[in-house]
Amino acid sequence: MYQASELIIRHPRQLTVAWAQKIVSHFAASAEVFNVNVIALDVGTTTRIQLYVDHNGPDQIPRYWFIKLPSLTWRARAITALPRLLATEVHFYQHIVPQVPVKTASVLAAASNLLTGSTLVISDVNEIGAQPGQAGQALTAAQAEAVIKQLAKFHGQFWNLSQYHPHLQRLAGPTRALEDLLGSILAVPLMKLGLQKAANLIPATLQVPALGYARQRRRIMAILNQGPQTLIHRDCHPGNFFWHDNQPGFLDWQLVRIGEGMADVAYFLATALEADVRRAHESDLIKTYATELKTQGIACDFDQLWPRYRLHLCYPFEAMLLTLAIGGLMEPLSNRIMLSRAAQAVADHQVFDLLQAACSRA
C-alpha cells in the first residue's frame, strides 16, 4: 500500500520502476514491474503523459497509463495553481466517480497535497479499444445526440443534491468562488488580448460587445448561476471525450463544479459542431435533453431550457478566446477552430444582446 506522499511527483523524470511498483503492488502485492516507458508527453494546462508499464500482474491492471502532473510551463501553472484545478480532478476521482453514471477512465491512483502538488494516474482508454476525441474535431449529429443523452443522465444523477453531499459541497465552495473572482479580474485584459490575436476569426459585430461582456462578467456569472444546480463537467469540448462502442465517455474533469446543466450543453454544442450542423439540430437536441431528464423524474421542458441555453453560449466563446490569449494551453489550430464555432453560435443567437437585457432586468 502506497502513501500519498510517495505517489506525488512533479516531473516526468520521476516516473520510475520503483514509483510504478507502489501502484501495481496496491492491486496485486506479488506483481512485479520490470520497466516503464514514456510513450508520449504533452504540456498544456497540465503535463499529460502516456506511460507503458511492463508488469506481470493480472490483466485487470492496465499496462498503458495516463498520468497528469502540474504543468511544466510557468504560464499554465500560474493560471491553474490558485483554483487548484488538478487537485479538483483528483478529488473528483477519489470521491465522486463511483456515483457518476457515465463512462470515465478508471483511476489507478490519485493524490493531492496543498504544498507538494497533485498526481493523477488513470487508465489509458486506448487499452480498452476506445478512441480518444480530438480537440477541434467536428462531431456528427448522431454523436451529438449520444453526448446530450449522457449529459442528461449525468446531470440528473446530481440534480439539486449539492447541499446534501459533502464531496459536492467542495465543488461549490471557496476554491470555485476564487476561480470566478480571478476570471472576472482578468476578463478585460485577456479579452482585449484574445481579440487582437483572433483577428478575423471574430465577426466585427461581436468585438465591442465582447469587451462589454468582460466588464460585466461578475454580474453575468451570477445570472448564469440562477438555474437549477447540479454537477457539471464545465469543459465539454470534443477533445475531452472518448468513444467506445459508439458511446461517449468523459475525460479531463479539472473544471468540474456545481452549476447549471445547460452550461455543459451550450459548451458542447458551441465547440463540437460545425455551424450548419448545430443550426439544423440544436433545438431538437435541447428537446432530447429535456426528455431524458423527464425519464429521471426531473420536471423541465424546452421552453424553459432554450433561453438558458442561449445565455450560456457566452462561456464557450469566452473560454476559447481566453485560451487563445494566454497561449500554450491547447493546440493552436484546434483552439482557433473551436473559437470560430463558438463565435458563430454567439452571433447566431445574439447572445450579448440577451445578456445585456438580462443584466438590465437584474
pLDDT in tens, 117-133: 899 999 999 998 999 99
Among 127, 145, 161, give the residue marking a domain's end.
Answer: 127
pLDDT at 209 over 70: yes
Alpha helices in the chain (DSSP H): 4-7, 17-27, 74-81, 85-95, 141-157, 166-169, 174-198, 204-215, 217-224, 261-272, 275-294, 302-312, 314-326, 332-348, 351-361
- Domain identity same for 91 and 156: no
Quick one: cell of 305? Answer: 431550457
Domain extent for 43: 4-127
Q: Identify residue 49 by its one-letter amino acid code.
A: I
pLDDT band at 175 (very low <50, low <70, confident <90, very high): low
CA 11 remoteness from chain centre: 23
Q: Could you tell me the end-to-end alpha-carbon distance of the chain, in angstroms, rounded to an integer?
A: 54
Same domain? 67 vs 9: yes
Verify that 107 and 137 share a domain, yes or no: no
% of the chain surpassing 70 pLDDT: 97
80, 99, 127 - which closes a domain = 127
CB 48 within 8 A of CB 110: no
Contact 249, 281 (CB under 8 A): no
- Among 127, 147, 176, the domain-final residue is 127
Reported as type and span, the H/E element at residue 126 is none
- 55-87 confidence digits (pLDDT tens): 999 999 999 999 999 888 877 777 776 568 888
* Shared domain check, 340 and 202: yes
Span 294-308, pLDDT tens digits: 999 999 999 999 999
CATH number for the domain spanning 10: value is 3.30.200
Name the residue with higher pLDDT: 163 or 350: 350
Name every residue whose Cβ is closer than 8 Å to that of residue 209 and which is 6 or more positions away in sequence: 352, 353, 356
**Average pLDDT of the segment spanning 145-171:** 89
